[in-house]
Every structure is written in C-alpha cells, then in structure tokens.
Chain A
Amino acid sequence: MLRLPTFRYHRPRTAAEAVRILAESGPKARFVAGGTDLYPNMKRRHQSAEHLISLARVEELRGIDGDGPAGTCTIGAMTTLREIERDPRIGAWYPAFVQAVASVSSPLLRNMGTIGGNLLLDTRCNYYNQTEEWRASIDFCMKERGPICWVAPGSPRCYAVQSSDTVPLLCAIGAEVTLLSPGGERRVAVDDLYRDDGIAYLTKRPDELLTRVHLPASGAWSAAYHKLRRRGSIDFPVLGVGAWVARDGERIADVRVRIGGVGSMPIHATETEAMLRGQPVTEELVRAAAELSFKPARTMDNTDSEVPYRKKMAPIFVRRALSECLGL
C-alpha cells in the first residue's frame, strides 16, 4: 500500500477558525479541500503536512450564489467541480467555464475535487510526480529536496507546469478570488494569482485561504476552452487554451488569450491579442493572430506528449478557441 504519512488533523467549522489554526500551527500546516491533488502528492512524499486542516465541514465555503448577468455570481471555494458542472445557472451564464470544469480529469475526481483546489493545483512535472523511490533513484529535483532541475539541468529555476483546466479560462474571462488571512480579506484577479516559477507558482501567501471565486457579469462577451491531452477520459492538459472576446458589432473590441500547460503559469498570448484588438473579424486575421502564439508557448520535455507537437498545436488550439468565441 502507498500510505499517507502521519499528520495532526483539524476540522474547523468556519473560515476564520481555519486561518487561525493555520497561523497557530507553524509552517508545516496545510489546508486540504477535496484532497485529489494533495493526497497523491503526500503519498508520493513530495508534499507534506504536519498539520492538516480539513475544510470539509466549513459550510460557508460551499455553494453558488448571485446573478450572472448582474455580475454578482460567486462560487464558494469548496464547491465541487461536479456541483458546478451540474448547476443550470452556471451552465446558462458561463458555458465555457462549464466546458473547462467538465474537462478536468474524470467524473470520480470531479465528484471530490473543488474549484478552490483546482485553482491552486500544484504544478506538475515528469520528474516530480513520481514515487519517492523513483525520485531517489536519479536524485531528487529542486522542487522537492534536491539541487537540480532535471528538465533543464543548467537552470536556476524550476519548470514544473501549470496544469489546471479552469485556470486559463478563469484568467481569460477576468474572474477574481477572495483570499482570507488573519489580517483580513483581499480580492485579486485570477490573472494575478500565478507566478512564472514551478516552485513558488502562486502569489497567494501561505497564510491565506482562498474562500470565493467571483465571476464577471455574463452577457456581452463569449469565451471558450480547448484542451489537448492523450486520453479524453482523464488526463491533465498538455495544452489548454482559454479565450475571451468582447465584440463591438463586426469588430473585436477586446480579447484575452491564456495558454495553460506550456509554462509554470498561464501564458499571455500578448501579440495575438494586440493583432486582433480593434480589428474587423475575419477568418484570415484570426488565423494570422493565432500563429503568433507559437513563440510564447515554451513547451519543455516534462509532460506527456512530445515537445514539438505540443508547441505546433498551440496556434491551432488558439485559432480554434478564438473561432468558437467569434462564431467562425
């Protein structure tokens, strides 16, 4: 059996109690939501916790509230991906979000995994997501215990990969999150939640708890999520494109494209966006703009599938996502 290491278990009833326990428990304390990311990582001994603070009974972190068109729709961080997928309001207001949620791993994991956990998913790497014995056999990498990056041995930084499906989409549509700490609450754009570093991949401080996701007013825009993976039934994305377009008649008023699975944070396709902004919608323009996403998609040899293939697929998936947004 691949068993969990031992830990002290806490079960707070409120978010305030949860952040207080974390603050009192020292640096080796962690929150756990659905456990579908943390428990496998703890079993393989690449994440650890002396104190495990379960959010399972914090009722205030559950549920979907508000009104999409009014811009007040919020989702509690402990809401499961299954609940979001099956909620008729979210389906009507934010179909692209449901598309992204429904593409996360398998139905069984979506029954357990939460939206908060999916936003904070640990970065992944072929040299990291392995058992302790496997990693010990070639020596540990810098993301856990070791001195070196096995993907880029000369590198001073870690290149583990952003692998959540909901992240590129929620960045693209301009969603926000609330973070709670003993010092109070702050609200940040999902787009500002990530850093380009495989180890310190979040701007969230360790003492902060992600409590709510805020979706923008639905209506005068469209979005799409397109995912590349080997098996349609379960795999993490090796490429995940989130696109958002606001139209002004026949022109593109504004556009955002975020590419997941090709870097330690969602990559901004800034040149693609700049070429499209303010321009009349044509298939040729979308095709040409999508080509500009080839360069920023810096695929490395640390996920499933091959590096050149994933890189070549980036512009194709960007074009498909933009075309879906524009009805082309």
Chain B
Amino acid sequence: MSPHSESPTPAKQLGVFHVNGETHEVAFAPHHTLLEVLREDLGLTGTTHGCELGECGTCTVLVDGTPVLSCLTLALEVAGGADGDPRPIETIEGLADGPNLHPLQDAFADLGASQCGYCSSGFMLTANALLRDDPAPDRAKIRTALAGNICRCTGYVKIFEAVELAAARLRGEARQPARETLYGS
C-alpha cells in the first residue's frame, strides 16, 4: 500500500457559515478549505485561487476582521455547529454597499490599481483591514501590510496610491488623485 493511499471521500457534513453578514447552512466536505467552500459550495467566486499554498495572497479573506489565507484555513475551523458559533467571514462580495462601491474599489478602478484583476480582491480585503486598524497609514506601513499579496501587473505603485486615496476619502477628505498618478509626469 502506498503511504498516500487515501481513504474514500468522507460524507459531507452540515455547518453554518457567516459570510458578509449573512448566515448560510452548507453541506461541505470536512477536508475542504474555506476557499473551496466559498467558491464551490457558496458560489462566491470573487475570492480567487492562485498558488493554493499560502504564497500569493490572492485568496485572502477576513476572519474576525483579520486577513487570512482561505486556501490554508480549514472550513471546519470557521464553521459553526454543535460546539460553537460560526466565525464572521468577509469576502470581496461584501465590500460594496449595495450599488455603491467601497472607496477602495472606487480608488482601485480609478487609478488602474486593478489591471487583470486576479489579485485585487485579496489586496482590497487586506487593505480594508489595515485601514480599519489605522485610518492614516504612511506608505511604508501600507507596503508592509500588503507584503503578502502578490501582483504581477501593476508594479504595486498604483495599488499603494489607491490605498492612500481610499484612506483619505474614508477620512472624509475630498482628495483627488494627483495629476501624475493619472497621466504620468
């Protein structure tokens, strides 16, 4: 017998997930990650899958307000059931307020911080947690906070500028992007 012969897929089990303020009862496979449950059982495909090994950050969601990698979070650890309440999960689908985009989404769109878009949901969730923690982070703090999210399109500068613009707007400042941000110098 090979050391990795796997036992037959175990039966699905029922669990409660609290996602973006809504409660979902889901039958899910107990060896599945939160990423798999979000995308495959709940149809919330805004959380993207990249490396699936914890290296790229594209699958970032917030659990209890903290950014974590959904590809390395066992769904069982955040589901509610007989022995506890579900832990609150926030995904990109919960960021906008109805038809009104979140300031981070607006800024990412306006400044070209989202190009192919694959990493954007992870970046915006990590940035959202940062801005709740610190409404006025400097560039160095933004760089550090976003260090676990990888982008292959933008070169990051546009993302840092978008987070700064969104932070200013969230603070109530009527900030417009700098001219060189939009048109180059």
Write out the residue numbers on chain A whose beta carbons fall within 8 Å of the beta carbon of B6: 5-6
For chain B, what secondary structure do more than half of its interface residues adopt (helix, strand, loop), or is it mixed?
Answer: loop
Stretch at the interface among B49-57, B99-107, B158-166, B174-182: B49-57
Whether the Cβ atoms of A106 and B3 lie closer than 8 Å is: no
Whether the Cβ atoms of B31 and A107 lie closer than 8 Å is: no
**With A6-B10, A234-B148 as given contacts, are A36 and B83 in contact (CB-CB < 8 Å)?**
no
Closest-by-CB residue of B relative to A106 is: B148
Q: List 8 A-B contacts (CB under 8 A).
A: A1-B49, A3-B36, A6-B30, A36-B69, A54-B74, A107-B67, A132-B4, A145-B2
Q: Does residue A182 face the partner (Cβ distance < 8 Å to B)?
A: no
Q: Does residue B66 face the partner (Cβ distance < 8 Å to A)?
A: yes
Which of A45, A105, A112 counts the most B-chain CB atoms under 10 A from its CB? A112
Identify which of B36, B76, B145 contacts A9 (C-beta below 8 A).
B76
B56-109 contacts to A, CB under 8 A, are: 57, 60, 66-69, 72-74, 76-77, 83-84
Write out the residue numbers on chain A whose beta carbons fall within 8 Å of the beta carbon of B77: 54, 56
- Docked complex Cα distance between A106 and B55 (Å): 8
B16: shortest Cβ distance to chain A, in Å?
Answer: 16
A contact residues, total (Cβ < 8 Å): 34
Write out the residue numbers on chain B whose beta carbons fall within 8 Å of the beta carbon of A35: 72-74
A275: shortest Cβ distance to chain B, in Å?
Answer: 37
Write out the residue numbers on chain B whose beta carbons fall within 8 Å of the beta carbon of A108: 54, 57, 60, 67-69, 126, 148-149
- Docked complex Cα distance between A1 and B53 (Å): 11
- Docked complex Cα distance between A21 and B158 (Å): 51
B contact residues, total (Cβ < 8 Å): 37
Identify which of B30, B53, B73 contacts A112 (C-beta below 8 A).
B73
* Interface residue ranges, B against A (CB under 8 Å): 2-4, 6-10, 30-33, 36, 49, 52-55, 57, 60, 66-69, 72-74, 76-77, 83-84, 126, 144-145, 147-149
Q: Does residue A4 face the partner (Cβ distance < 8 Å to B)?
A: yes
Closest-by-CB residue of B relative to A38 is: B72
**With A9-B30, A234-B147 as given contacts, are A40 and B7 in contact (CB-CB < 8 Å)?**
no
Whether the Cβ atoms of A40 and B53 lie closer than 8 Å is: yes
Closest A-B pairs by Cβ, 4 of them: A106-B148, A108-B148, A233-B147, A40-B53
Whether the Cβ atoms of B72 and A39 lie closer than 8 Å is: yes
A223-242 contacts to B, CB under 8 A, are: 232-234
Whether the Cβ atoms of B83 and A11 lie closer than 8 Å is: yes
Closest-by-CB residue of A relative to B69 is: A108
- Docked complex Cα distance between A48 and B5 (Å): 10
Whether the Cβ atoms of B148 and A3 lie closer than 8 Å is: no
Closest-by-CB residue of A relative to B39 is: A1
B30: shortest Cβ distance to chain A, in Å?
Answer: 6
Closest-by-CB residue of B relative to A233 is: B147
Write out the residue numbers on chain B whose beta carbons fall within 8 Å of the beta carbon of A39: 33, 54, 72, 74
- Docked complex Cα distance between A234 and B76 (Å): 27
Q: Does residue A50 face the partner (Cβ distance < 8 Å to B)?
A: yes
Q: Does residue A134 face the partner (Cβ distance < 8 Å to B)?
A: no
Write out the residue numbers on chain A whose beta carbons fall within 8 Å of the beta carbon of B126: 107-108
Q: Does residue A43 face the partner (Cβ distance < 8 Å to B)?
A: yes
A99-127 contacts to B, CB under 8 A, are: 105-109, 111-112
Whether the Cβ atoms of B55 and A234 lie closer than 8 Å is: yes
A147: shortest Cβ distance to chain B, in Å?
Answer: 14
Closest-by-CB residue of A relative to B35 is: A1
Q: Does residue A2 face the partner (Cβ distance < 8 Å to B)?
A: yes
